[in-house]
Chains A and B, each alone.
Chain A
Amino acid sequence: VLTQSPGTLSLSPGDRATLSCRASQSVTNNYLAWYQQKPGQPPRQLIYGASNRVAGIPDKFSGSGSGTDFTLTISRLESEDFAVYYCQHYGNSPLVYTFGQGTKVEIK
């Protein structure tokens, strides 16, 4: 089980956002991904392997953590960053695809 906190983050443009994802058991090989989802759109992958940015994702997004505690940081929020963010535990030994319940980053 992945637990994301907070459920909602109310921030202003230019603020730093810190999103948490906690796993009920250790994430093997740090196979932890982060996704961004905007209304009416599918999730978009931002991070894989806990800290590796997907090609084309701006460096204001950074992932960190290991074991059971992971963090997504958005260094300076811009208008297009207000969205819902999900973490995901993935892997094949054993097969696992589990999503967190999401954190909504909204404009304060």
Chain B
Amino acid sequence: QVQLVESGGGVVQPGRSLRLSCVTSGFPFKNYVMHWVRQTPDKGLEWLALISYDGNSKFYADSVKGRFFISRDNSKGSIVLEMNSLRPDDTATYYCARDGWMSTFGGAHDYWGQGTPVTVSS
């Protein structure tokens, strides 16, 4: 079955960096666009970034553009979110999710990981 497992969350000071990973299994990873989405009690669900199936195209939400960077390793079935210059309002649960459209982006998120919590605080 399809599985997505995030890791790397934790407590980090403002201005520091953190690297989140998502390891997948149960589907042909190299054929699917992958996303990062975060959730807070205040702002709800917020899409952050996507990476095309081949890694050549990446798109970001304005709120994280220039600070967060998404990458993937098709040989390992994994994606990474590098988060820099972290701010307290980046505190959230971070989910990786699969795009429901094979080989292209723009589809709804059909599978989600369990999420990894990130707290940005001094």
Report Cα–Cα, A41/B112, bound state, in Å.
10
Residues of A within 8 A of B (CB): 31, 33, 35, 41-45, 48, 54, 86, 88, 90-93, 95, 97-102
Known: A43-B112, A48-B108, A88-B108. A95 touches B44 (CB 8 A): no
Known: A42-B95, A42-B113. A33 touches B108 (CB 8 A): yes
Contact of A54 among B44, B110, B113, B114 (CB under 8 A): B110
Q: Are B44 and A86 in contact (CB under 8 A)?
A: yes
Q: Are B95 and A90 in contact (CB under 8 A)?
A: no
- Scan B86-122; emit 1 where CB is below 8 A from any A CB, else 0: 0000000001010010001111111011110000000
Report Cα–Cα, A44/B47, bound state, in Å.
15
Tell me if B46 is interfacial: C-beta within 8 Å of chain A: yes
Q: Are B45 and A95 in contact (CB under 8 A)?
A: no
Contact of A90 among B46, B108, B112, B115 (CB under 8 A): B108
Q: Are B106 and A92 in contact (CB under 8 A)?
A: yes
B46 — nearest CB in chain A belongs to which residue? Answer: A99
Interface residues on B, range: 20 to 34
Q: Are B113 and A92 in contact (CB under 8 A)?
A: no
Q: Are A48 and B100 in contact (CB under 8 A)?
A: yes
Q: Are A95 and B106 in contact (CB under 8 A)?
A: yes
Q: B110: which A residues are within 8 A, CB to CB?
A: 45, 48, 54
The 4 closest A-B pairs by CB, nearest first: A92-B106, A97-B47, A42-B112, A33-B108
Q: Are A99 and B113 in contact (CB under 8 A)?
A: no
B6 — nearest CB in chain A belongs to which residue? Answer: A42
Q: B45: which A residues are within 8 A, CB to CB?
A: 43, 86, 88, 99, 102
Contact of A92 among B44, B46, B104, B114 (CB under 8 A): B104
Q: A86: which B residues are within 8 A, CB to CB?
A: 44-45
Known: A99-B44, A101-B44. A45 touches B108 (CB 8 A): yes
Q: B47: which A residues are within 8 A, CB to CB?
A: 97-99
